[in-house]
């Protein structure tokens, strides 16, 4: 598969600077696996397989490698987890804490992205950059567990956000907050309703056919922020914030019925 040039460049940098012999495979998930790449909006989400559990020197090498990636590609987040290939064949709950990179922050032992979502995206929509094809890794999947995990995410993380936004809608006046909340909850709800994973943008377009018309304005606005175009709220960021808060609460409530 051919990659957008920035994606290929960040992957090449990572593979060039990791400790020799440590990384046996590099795989991408997220939007690029669904064929969606929006420069300036999309991140590069990865899973790397390692030859062995990293030693202290390996951890230092991985941390240094990510510093070099961030330095060489400051505008393109490269977030993910290095695991053993055998970790991917079992339930992610059984995977130990591993090195994690999120928002350019490296932790030697954490659980960011150790979840059914990561495993399912990689198994069904993964992209192999180097190493054994991802289709041959025997990646664990369990659709019921994926749905349960998604419901729980909406009922905990997103419910908490919705309750906070109900009292402080000004928190989502910013364009990035509108895009994050609206497309974030729509993407999760899409999975529960259709039983299929999708991208943020496709979830927004699906939402225009699924949700009541009163939410179409804020859905179009979230898509506009992500993909470009004229605002739906000229000079009225406060209304955008209120609509974002209302839509987030609505989806969380609706998801509770699935």
CATH number of domain containing 88: 3.30.460
Residue 91 is predicted with a pLDDT of 97
How many CB atoms are closer than 10 A to CB 189? Answer: 24
pLDDT band at 16 (very low <50, low <70, confident <90, very high): very high
- The token duo for 144 is 């019921």
The answer on 147 and 218 residing in a single domain is yes
The answer on 90 and 40 residing in a single domain is yes
The answer on 158 and 123 residing in a single domain is no
The answer on 93 and 147 residing in a single domain is no
- pLDDT of 257 > 80? The answer is no
The answer on 9 and 98 residing in a single domain is yes
Contacts of 18 (CB under 8 A, 6+ apart): 48, 61, 62, 65
Tell me which H or E stretch contains 249: helix 237-255
- Domain finish residue from 84, 103, 136: 136
pTM of the model: 0.93
Residue 39 is predicted with a pLDDT of 87
The answer on 124 and 147 residing in a single domain is no
Report the alpha-carbon angle 100-84-80, nearest 5: 25
Question: Residue 130 forms beta bridges with which residues?
Answer: 26
Least-confidence region, from 36-45, 67-76, 203-212, 249-258: 249-258
- Stretch 13-22: mean pLDDT: 96
More confident residue, 258 or 26: 26
% pLDDT > 70, the chain: 99
Among candidate residues 84, 86, 148, the one with its CA nearest the CA of residue 116: 148
Residue 256 is predicted with a pLDDT of 76
Domain that holds residue 227: 143-255
- Stretch 110-132: mean pLDDT: 96
- Stretch 108-133: mean pLDDT: 96
The answer on 123 and 167 residing in a single domain is no
Residue 216 is predicted with a pLDDT of 98
For the chain, the domain total comes to: 2
36, 202 Cβ separation under 8 angstroms: yes
The answer on 210 and 179 residing in a single domain is yes
For residue 211, the 8-state DSSP code is: S
- pLDDT of 177 > 60? The answer is yes
How many CB atoms are closer than 10 A to CB 100? Answer: 20
């Amino acid at each position: 598969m051919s990659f957008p040039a920035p994606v290929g460049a960040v992957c090449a940098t990572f593979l060039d600077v990791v400790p020799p012999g440590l990384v046996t495979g590099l795989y991408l998930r997220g939007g690029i696996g669904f064929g969606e790449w929006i420069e300036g909006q999309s991140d590069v989400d990865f899973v790397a397989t390692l030859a062995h559990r990293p030693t202290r020197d390996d951890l230092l090498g991985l941390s240094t490698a990510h510093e070099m990636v961030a330095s060489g590609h400051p505008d393109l987040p490269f977030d993910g987890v290095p695991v053993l290939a055998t970790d991917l064949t079992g339930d992610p709950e059984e995977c130990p804490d591993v090195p994690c990179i999120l928002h350019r922050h490296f932790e030697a032992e954490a659980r960011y992205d150790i979840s059914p979502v990561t495993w399912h995206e990689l198994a069904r929509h993964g992209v192999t950059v180097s190493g054994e094809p991802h289709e041959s890794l025997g990646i664990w999947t369990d659709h019921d567990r994926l749905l349960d995990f998604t419901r729980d995410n909406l009922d905990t993380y997103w419910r908490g956000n919705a309750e906070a936004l109900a009292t402080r809608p000004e928190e989502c006046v910013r364009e990035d907050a509108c895009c994050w909340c609206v497309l974030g909850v729509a993407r999760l709800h899409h999975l529960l309703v259709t039983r299929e994973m999708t991208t943020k943008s496709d979830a927004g377009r699906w939402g225009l056919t699924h949700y009541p018309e009163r939410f179409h304005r804020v859905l179009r606005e979230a898509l506009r922020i992500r993909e470009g175009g004229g605002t739906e709220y000229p000079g009225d960021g406060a209304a955008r914030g209120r609509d974002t808060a209302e839509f987030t609460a609505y989806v969380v409530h609706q998801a509770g019925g699935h």
